[in-house]
Structure 1
Amino acid sequence: MLKKYLLLVSLLIWVSTHSFAQLISDNQDIYQVGNSVNLSSPYHTTLSFFYNLEEGHYNPENAAKALDLSDVKDQKGQSLAIKLKQIFEGKGIIVRTSEIPNEQNYNDTTSTSGESIYYFDKQKLPGIFLQKNGDNWKYSAFSVSQIDELHSETYPYGTAKLLNILPKIGNQEYLGLHLWQLVGLFILVLLVFLSHWIFTLVVDKLMLYLFKRYGYGKVGEDYILPVARVISFYLIVVLLSLFIRVLQLPIEIWSWILIVLRTLKPFLITIIFYKLADVVGAYFSKLATKTESTLDDQLVPLMRKTLKAFVIIVGTLFILRDGLNLDIIPFLTGLSIGGVAIALAAQDTIKNFFGSVMIFIDKPFQVGDWITSGEIDGTVEEVGFRSTRIRTFRNSLMYVPNGKIADAVLDNHGLRQYRRFYTTLTVTYDTPPALIDEFVKGLREIVLAHPDTRKDGFHVYFNNLSSFSQDVMFYIFFEVPTWGEELRCRHEILIQIVKLANTLGVRFAFPTQTLHMESFPEKKTLVPEYTGGYESKLNEFMQGELKKKMD
């Protein structure tokens, strides 16, 4: 994909440069100012300067006359004139003569002092301007003092030396470009392909190998590798922006290429940080798995989405500012004013957002907890920025705004340390007191033997005589985290109670009416006969249960 893109760009450069070169040659009369140097107005000074540095009219000595050399040596003027033109070309500044004032007494209306100054581009070249000195307009002494620094900034890392080396290859023209420009373009394309191959080898092969060797192969392949690939493309764009300006392409073409390169830089950086948000999210997801709370498991995806949205917003602002040279201050001002209007129109949304923040900070519940509050009754499934999703016991879903939850009184059953189990065991009135006493002892032993019951806080007593039964209070606590575990423990306890009752011969009562009749000699009474020996039966039951657990 990158190869096709670069070939297409190269073809467009060749075709477009020929057409622009023909356009300039057809309109050279606007540059004709003769052998003399006219400095009577910003318009004539600009024409004189660039005309004497054009190919075919090359006269840097005349071009240097447009500079205020009062603070430098005259011998250096020609070099400074050449550098100044290279600065204009390197920064992609198109000088449109039709927009330059042709007035000898021109005053800058944007200046409070009304000085006789003319700026070419206050954003790209704020330090380069023409200033009237007597009857002549020249590049100011301050501008001349900035030329060396601006030239080094425009052609950094020694690339300025290539401006003197490459033209020695040859100036023959082919397809609208000089031979040295074609050779330089070929070398640059070759250098880009070579760099892409090296980056691919390092990223796809070496880096992935190292991650797999240390046991992080999946992390490297899913998270680090996509980021590294985008970084390699960013380095290629940086390489292009450094060296392509050395080719001194026609300013009309280079200005558009420069916009594309300046836009690609913040765009690729935005993509890098966008993908890094996944890396950060994966790291915090791993930390969340080590905690007991499940609420942070929901917080990590929300944090990742928020971070990505923030990266997109900031990246867009940088693309507008650095890539397209747009002033984002009015945009930010309008955004702030619009934000107030939006905030007033979206009070409930903002309230829900801050409600979600308070939920994540206070942690009144976590995912999986059973909560109740008014009409709310169910298990928390997901906590979002606007609402919380609750699964009811009817298996339906409730979406409750976080603002409402933050203000409500919640009963969180999921945060219980112990889960209470209370029931009444009713036995028939014909049960002897000794049997009831042994039955209660057996119930307490069942509680003590179960692994998930609270041993220091339970109550099992014969505590009531009701209308149809003798009542035994069974009040215990389970030390389990979920409702499902509680149901399991209830099942196990109740099974043991039924087994104990069957072993001891205890009958559970229920509301009945008993009609007593004279017993017949050949018929046995319905009242059971209790023969005693309850303590031995209880011991036999407990030993049997213990033996089962041992087995």
Structure 2
Amino acid sequence: MFWEFSSYENLKAIGISIGIFLLFLLFRKIFVKYIFALLVKLGKIAPGEFLSHLLKAYEKPAQWLFIIIGLYFSVQYFPYFNHSAPFFSKVISASIIMLITWGLLNLSSASSLLFKKINASKYNIEFDEIVIPFLSKVLKFVIVAISISVIAQVFDYDVNGFVAGLGLGGLAFALASKDALSNLFGGLIIITEKPFSIGDWIKTSSVEGIVEDISFRSTRVRTFEQALVTVPNEKLANEAITNWSKAGKRQISVYLNLPQDASRDKVKSTIEKIKAYLKNHPEIHQKTIKVTFDQYKDKAIFIYFYTKTTDWGEYLKVKEELNYKLMDILEEKETEEPEPCPE
């Protein structure tokens, strides 16, 4: 419904309306540059980090709040808009709810203090790295669901009827999203049984590498060729998983073929030198060292031991050092340089 003013009064009202809106934009700039910056400094010196995370989460929503408030007061003087209309008040209320939701979503992210900075000594709570992404996403889903329901009630929508309707369509939804639900349950199995965590080195029939992320649908693994492989949780949960990070040590086995004319003394001397090297290596598990003259026909020496590390880079470094040492030992004996052959 339009207000009836003279042309001068309309222009005056429009000017006041625009002026109020620009004034709130100025307040927004002052708030960001001075007041919010001061609050951030106070948050950094405050005990704990919650206040700092809270301010960071609501930085953008607070800026938009000035725009919404400025819009609300400016339309009070705008001559061609009925600010008393119920729909306008509902839009303003819904906008504020959305800003609150925005801040809560920022606060509930996986890197937020909400999960990573809990005082374990006080509450005796410790979150596994594999659980944090799931908790974060579940919390975000709950926040969005509550926000939508509150906004729906603001617009006088019957939320109870909507929830009842979900029960009727639940079966059809489950059939249509069979694969998605299988992946979801696969993810839940991975969480509950904890065959691996983020950062672990795993090996399955389909992939080997470092786990980078675990979501509701899939798990992302970074291979040692630096390729990023996304494996559906349903498939991963049904595969045999070797977690090398949980092993505590990693096996290395090598056959070293000596020249056919190598004498008995040369073979024994080579074995003793290899044993001495392995026993003095700080990254080799001493109780697992086995060096034997295994095959007479090929003059093959079998070398078997475990490394103390399961880190891929350190594991390869130990293997490389062994290969160089074997070459040095053979050169000392003035024999040919046979190449160590992995078993």
TM-score scaled to structure 2, two decimals? Answer: 0.71
Q: Which of 316, 324, 328 does residue 495 from structure 1 map onto?
A: 324
> For the structure 1 residues 236 and 443, does the alpha-carbon distance in structure 2 shift closer, same or farther, using more than 3 Å as the test?
same
- Is 2:151 the counterpart of 1:319? yes
> For the structure 1 residues 203 and 435, does the alpha-carbon distance in structure 2 shift closer, same or farther, using more than 3 Å as the test?
same
The equivalences for 1:182-331 within 5 A come to 197-198=26-27, 200-212=29-41, 214=44, 223-233=57-67, 253=82, 255-256=84-85, 258-281=86-109, 282-283=111-112, 287=116, 296=129, 300=133, 307-322=139-154, 324-331=155-162
Deviation at 1:308, TM superposition (A): 4.5
Report Cα offsets for 1:451-477 as digits up to 9, x if no partner.
Answer: 32112321223x3351242x4331111
Tell me the residue number matched to 2:195: 364
Tell me the residue number matched to 1:480: 309
Tell me the residue number matched to 1:438: 269
Report Cα offsets for 1:390-421 as digits up to 9, x if no partner.
Answer: 56678877553312322333223343311111
Rounded Cα–Cα distance in structure 2 between residues aligned with 1:203 and 1:272? 18
Rounded Cα–Cα distance in structure 1 between residues aligned with 2:54 and 2:177? 42
Rounded Cα–Cα distance in structure 1 between residues aligned with 2:136 and 2:303? 50
User: Does the CA-based 8 Å contact 1:230-1:268 persist in structure 2?
Assistant: no
Which letter maps to 2:147? Answer: G
Rounded Cα–Cα distance in structure 2 between residues aligned with 1:348 and 1:464? 51
Report Cα offsets for 1:243-296 as digits up to 9, x if no partner.
Answer: x6xx9x9xx94552x3212222132222332243223313159939xxxxxx93
Aligned length: 315
User: Does the CA-based 8 Å contact 2:295-2:301 persist in structure 1?
Assistant: no
> For the structure 1 residues 438 and 453, does the alpha-carbon distance in structure 2 shift closer, same or farther, using more than 3 Å as the test?
same
Structure 2 SS opposite 1:352 = helix
User: Does the CA-based 8 Å contact 1:317-1:328 persist in structure 2?
Assistant: yes
Rounded Cα–Cα distance in structure 2 between residues aligned with 1:424 and 1:447? 15
Rounded Cα–Cα distance in structure 2 between residues aligned with 1:382 and 1:254? 49
Rounded Cα–Cα distance in structure 1 between residues aligned with 2:19 and 2:230? 59
Q: Which of 246, 249, 252 does residue 421 from structure 1 map onto?
A: 252
Deviation at 1:337, TM superposition (A): 1.9
Rounded Cα–Cα distance in structure 1 between residues aligned with 2:295 and 2:173? 68
Deviation at 1:368, TM superposition (A): 5.6
Which letter maps to 2:104? Answer: L
> For the structure 1 residues 271 and 17, does the alpha-carbon distance in structure 2 shift closer, same or farther, using more than 3 Å as the test?
same
User: Does the CA-based 8 Å contact 2:219-2:233 persist in structure 1?
Assistant: yes
Which letter maps to 1:274? Answer: W
Residue range with higher mean Cα deviation, 391-400 or 429-438: 391-400
Structure 2 SS opposite 1:458 = strand
TM-score scaled to structure 1, two decimals? Answer: 0.47
Which letter maps to 1:328? Answer: V
> For the structure 1 residues 285 and 298, does the alpha-carbon distance in structure 2 shift closer, same or farther, using more than 3 Å as the test?
farther
- Is 2:268 the counterpart of 1:409? no
User: Does the CA-based 8 Å contact 2:204-2:239 persist in structure 1?
Assistant: no
User: Does the CA-based 8 Å contact 1:278-1:304 persist in structure 2?
Assistant: no
List alignment gaps of at least 5 residues for structure 1.
Answer: 1-12, 19-173, 289-294, 511-551
The equivalences for 1:25-44 within 5 A come to none
Deviation at 1:198, TM superposition (A): 4.5
Report Cα offsets for 1:463-494 as digits up to 9, x if no partner.
Answer: 3351242x433111112233333222111111
> For the structure 1 residues 337 and 367, does the alpha-carbon distance in structure 2 shift closer, same or farther, using more than 3 Å as the test?
farther
Rounded Cα–Cα distance in structure 2 between residues aligned with 1:284 and 1:387? 25
Tell me the residue number matched to 1:467: 297
Deviation at 1:387, TM superposition (A): 2.6
User: Does the CA-based 8 Å contact 1:351-1:403 persist in structure 2?
Assistant: yes
Tell me the residue number matched to 1:377: 207
**Greater radius of gyration (CA):** 1
User: Does the CA-based 8 Å contact 1:464-1:472 persist in structure 2?
Assistant: yes
Report Cα offsets for 1:327-370 as digits up to 9, x if no partner.
Answer: 23222221332233212332332121121122234331245623
Which letter maps to 2:307? Answer: F
Rounded Cα–Cα distance in structure 2 between residues aligned with 1:254 and 1:279? 34
The equivalences for 1:84-103 within 5 A come to none
Structure 2 SS opposite 1:487 = helix
Rounded Cα–Cα distance in structure 1 between residues aligned with 2:307 and 2:60? 50
Taking CA–CA contacts closer than 8 Å with sequence separation of 6 or more, which of the two structures ends up with the larger relative contact order? 2
List alignment gaps of at least 5 residues for structure 2.
Answer: 118-127
> For the structure 1 residues 485 and 385, does the alpha-carbon distance in structure 2 shift closer, same or farther, using more than 3 Å as the test?
same
Rounded Cα–Cα distance in structure 2 between residues aligned with 1:332 and 1:310? 15
Tell me the residue number matched to 1:141: none
User: Does the CA-based 8 Å contact 1:453-1:478 persist in structure 2?
Assistant: yes
User: Does the CA-based 8 Å contact 1:428-1:507 persist in structure 2?
Assistant: yes
Rounded Cα–Cα distance in structure 1 between residues aligned with 2:18 and 2:224? 66
Report Cα offsets for 1:509-550 as digits up to 9, x if no partner.
Answer: 79xxxxxxxxxxxxxxxxxxxxxxxxxxxxxxxxxxxxxxxx
Rounded Cα–Cα distance in structure 1 between residues aligned with 2:297 and 2:272? 24
Deviation at 1:434, TM superposition (A): 4.3
Rounded Cα–Cα distance in structure 1 between residues aligned with 2:186 and 2:130? 18
Rounded Cα–Cα distance in structure 1 between residues aligned with 2:162 and 2:298? 82
Tell me the residue number matched to 2:123: none
> For the structure 1 residues 328 and 431, does the alpha-carbon distance in structure 2 shift closer, same or farther, using more than 3 Å as the test?
closer
> For the structure 1 residues 344 and 428, does the alpha-carbon distance in structure 2 shift closer, same or farther, using more than 3 Å as the test?
closer
| % same residue | 20
